Amino acid sequence: MAVVIESSVWEPNPAIYIFIFFACLFSIISFPYACSSNSGSTAKAPSLFDHGVSPTASSFRFQRNFLVLYSLASVMEGLWSVFGEFELTYYGLSKEKMVLYLCLGFAASLSIGSFLGVLSDLIGPKKVCFFFCFLHLLLGLLKRIIPHLSVWVASICLSITSSVFSFGFETWMVVQHEEQGHRQDMLSETFWLMSFFESACLIGSQVFSNWIIGNNTEKSLASHSTAGIFLAVIGLVCLTRGWKEIPHKVALKEYRASFHAYIVGDKRIWLLAWAQASLHFSVAVFWILWAPTIVADGREVHLGLIYPCFLGSRMLGSTVFPWLISGLASLRTEDCLVYAFIILGFVMSIIAYDYQEVGMLVTLFCIFHVGLGVVLPSLARLRTMYVPNALRGGMISLSQAPANAAILLFLVQGKYYHNIGNSTIIAFAALGLFTAAGCMHVLKRWGKQPYQNWHKL
């Protein structure tokens, strides 16, 4: 008599999605009332996104239009990244070639993306955002014309767009916010809303990509490229008609002198840059290794159902940010980052050195993303405090260069030559997060260095 062995596939409890949704909703809705109660005011509670302030109509319109554009860019980024894994598998790439695909992408980010921020400061961030949409449009058209477009070309293009996405829209928003004279207290709200909407749009792009994938793979690839073209065209139209930028010309020599004086010559910026690089490295390590870590020892898991849990956790963390900064806690941004980086470091340490079941691993990864949702707007807030707007793009892109170099090294040594284990790579990520916490502690002790006397380029 044959013995039938039933294999179970692990998947998250559907109640997790409901909990994350209602937790985010409760955090957003209750925050204005908590602020009113804490201040002792008897005035009527502000609106949903009016966290203790009453922005003018133009300020609210500016924020709303930017978030729509940023959400559109987030969908474009998520659409290609989700479908890209399916495409690599469809073309039959081996594990070694997939590693080379990642290496080529990070090499492009290191060699090209590191200097796009400087270009953004010199020619204006709007042009770089326009280049972001144009590159997505070009990639979609090439895939429609050449169905079997080289995955190496796609890797370079997507890595460049990811580099632009990491700094371009934020820099443009901050510059436009200052030029149009909007209130500074709206920036913190916009930062956490950016993280919130980005995560929501990445979930939406996954749902949309899975819906596009059908039985006819060739047709699915073509439909996916068409969707990318359509979104890119909408983005270009919004950039062309909906936004105006004050033209300015900056001499390279003057920019170089200012960058050396206010970025390279300021130790506080070095601390902030190291924290950004450590976070960028740990996030990249997570997205490369989270699936192999969960399916280790042949465990069967529905990875597609776990992915929204991470992004939903990040949404929840972004809604916690205003509670910590301007809510009942009212922590300094540096203190908030110290605590958050320490928690993230401990989470990565546990993952690196302690074998866990799938449920515990998913829980730890969700905690990591809750902390990520707090850290991202906090770092953006610190950049506004310490970095001049005219140098913001270059500072962000160049601070990612050490992280991209480290990721490229670990990919070659660990995933290609198998000289370094996954746990060791995760341990280095944890170490970087702990050093980032130390940098934020030192930054708090040194205090803020104002640059009011800094002249605009």
State CA 312 to chain mean position distance: 14
Per-residue tokens: 43: 């005035």
Amino acid 34: pLDDT: 67
Which pLDDT band, with edges at 50, 70 and 90, does 84 fall under? low
**Segment 137-165 mean pLDDT:** 85
**Segment 79-105 mean pLDDT:** 78
Amino acid 6: pLDDT: 45
Are 193 and 408 a contacting pair, CB within 8 Å?
Answer: no
**17 has pLDDT over 70:** yes
Per-residue tokens: 58: 């133009």
- Judged by average pLDDT, the poorest of 96-100, 104-108, 210-214, 312-316 is 210-214
Classify 54 as helix, strand or coil. coil
Which pLDDT band, with edges at 50, 70 and 90, does 184 fall under? confident
Amino acid 326: pLDDT: 77
- Give tens-digit pLDDT for 287-341: 999 988 888 877 888 888 899 999 999 999 999 999 988 766 678 899 999 999 9
- Judged by average pLDDT, the poorest of 46-60, 135-149, 341-355, 402-416 is 46-60
Which pLDDT band, with edges at 50, 70 and 90, does 5 fall under? very low
**49 has pLDDT over 60:** no
Closest CA to 164 of 404, 383, 394, 374: 394
Amino acid 247: pLDDT: 66
Mean pLDDT in the chain? 85
- Give tens-digit pLDDT for 354-411: 767 899 999 999 999 999 999 999 999 999 999 999 999 999 999 999 999 999 999 9
Amino acid 1: pLDDT: 42
Residue 9 burial (CB count, 10 A):
9
Q: Which residue has the higher pLDDT, 36 or 208?
A: 208
**449 has pLDDT over 60:** no
- Give tens-digit pLDDT for 115-129: 999 999 999 999 999
Distance between CA 31 and CA 96 in Å, rounded?
49
Angle of the 303-326 helix axis to the 333-353 helix axis, nearest 10: 150
- Judged by average pLDDT, the poorest of 41-50, 250-259, 304-313, 419-428 is 41-50
Which pLDDT band, with edges at 50, 70 and 90, does 148 fall under? low
Amino acid 83: pLDDT: 64
Q: Which runs of consecutive H residues, i.e. helices, occur in 354-421?
A: 358-386, 392-399, 401-410
- Give tens-digit pLDDT for 24-37: 999 998 887 766 65
The vertex-331 CA angle with 168 and 192, nearest 5°, equals 30
Percent of the chain with pLDDT over 90: 54
**Segment 140-169 mean pLDDT:** 86
What are the structural domains of the chain? 63-446 (1.20.1250.20)
